[in-house]
Amino acid sequence: MSYFEGKRILITGAGSGLGRRMALSMAREGGSIIAWDINAEALEKVLSELKMASGREHMGTVCDVSTSKAVYQAADTIKGAAGPPDILINNAGLVSGKPFLECSDAEIRRTMGVNTMALFWTAKAFLPEMIHRNAGHIVTVASAAGLVGTARLADYCASKYAAVGFDESIRAELKQVAPGVNTTVICPYYINTGMFRGAKTRFSWLLPILDERYAADRMVDAIRRRRPRLIMPPLVYTVPLLRLMPVAVFDWVVTFLGVNASMHDFKGRKEDAHDRS
């Protein structure tokens, strides 16, 4: 039996991109999807796709996960209608992709709200039931940008560093109070979902722009296997070793690999909406 069979799976940012692909894959394996997205039209479309893929109805809620009030209200609705989720996948994210001083205060708050604060609100909403049952799974879709600071991504990197730290801290706490609750943190390099449209890589054989379908499949497999961490591509696993070098050498290596020039031609999505990074 699949790990997802019969489980209630809440995915934020499920309307398109990685969230949509993960939802469809898990629904086909018997999961009951609870899709959250800020885009009502995208949400309606993915719910239709989920029904076609699985032959069953799934739930969806329009929710701005950056605000605690919206999250708690949507959580109460879900608990009353279907019960609390067994798996929580914090996938919604966005990026401004500008030099730091060109980011407005509102853009910085929005990035931190969606990419970081939402993790706190959803966990506070659903983690108590998981701890009570000593069962459940919290998945944090972070980024390789949560491991390496990158030019023109100051707000995004800060938000994803926070996401990685959040996962590590929650994992440590859960081992003490509810070891049956699993956690998974996912740190991919750029993915061709459109969120990072225009981003470049200098050495595609070392740091490829990841294919959306491939990345989603790897993520689903990591969750299925209850892996505590997934980093893509493998080169990113060397970051802790690179940090043993003097700062000047570390900076030279990152720049040589093209990371600090990767956002120079960034375009991103035209619309201002949650993406699935």
Residue 71, domain CATH = 3.40.50.720
Task: Give the pairing type, strands 92-93 and 275-276.
Answer: antiparallel
Residue 255 lies in a domain: yes
Residue 40 lies in a domain: yes
Other beta carbons within 10 Å of 250: 15
Q: Has residue 276 got a pLDDT over 50?
A: no
Residue 158 lies in a domain: yes
Mean of pLDDT over the chain:
95
Rounded to a whole number, what is the distance in angstroms from the first to the last CA of the chain?
Answer: 29
User: What integer is the mean pLDDT of 48-52?
Assistant: 98
pLDDT of residue 268: 82
Task: Look at the chain and report how many structural domains it folds into.
Answer: 1
pLDDT of residue 270: 54
| Candidate list 156, 161, 189, 190, residue with the active-site label | 156
Q: Has residue 145 got a pLDDT over 60?
A: yes
Q: Write down how long the chain is.
A: 277
Return d(Cα 2, Cα 218) in angstroms, integer. 16
> How many degrees, rounded to 5, is the angle at CA 75 between CA 116 and CA 9?
80
Residue 3 lies in a domain: no
Residue type for position 41:
E
Return d(Cα 125, Cα 19) in angstroms, integer. 20
Please give the sequence-ordered ranges of beta strands (E in DSSP) within the chain, or none if there are none: 8-12, 32-37, 59-62, 87-90, 92-93, 136-141, 181-188, 229-232, 275-276
Residue 129 lies in a domain: yes
pLDDT of residue 186: 98
Residue type for position 8:
R
Domain that holds residue 77: 8-272
User: What integer is the mean pLDDT of 173-183?
Assistant: 98
Share of the chain above pLDDT 70, in %: 97
Q: Which pLDDT tens digit goes with each residue over 55-69?
A: 999 999 999 999 999
Residue 2 lies in a domain: no
Q: What's the maximum distance between 2 C-alpha atoms anywhere in the chain?
A: 56
Q: Which pLDDT tens digit goes with each residue over 74-101?
A: 999 999 998 999 999 999 999 999 999 9
Q: At what angle do helices 118-133 and 154-177 cross, to 10 degrees?
A: 10
Residue 175 lies in a domain: yes
* pTM score, whole prediction: 0.95
pLDDT-derived band at 194, boundaries 50, 70, 90: confident
Any catalytic annotation for residue 156? yes
C-beta separation of 140 from 90 below 8 A: yes
SS3 annotation, 170-196: HHHHHHHHCCCEEEEEEEECCECCCCC
Residue 1 lies in a domain: no
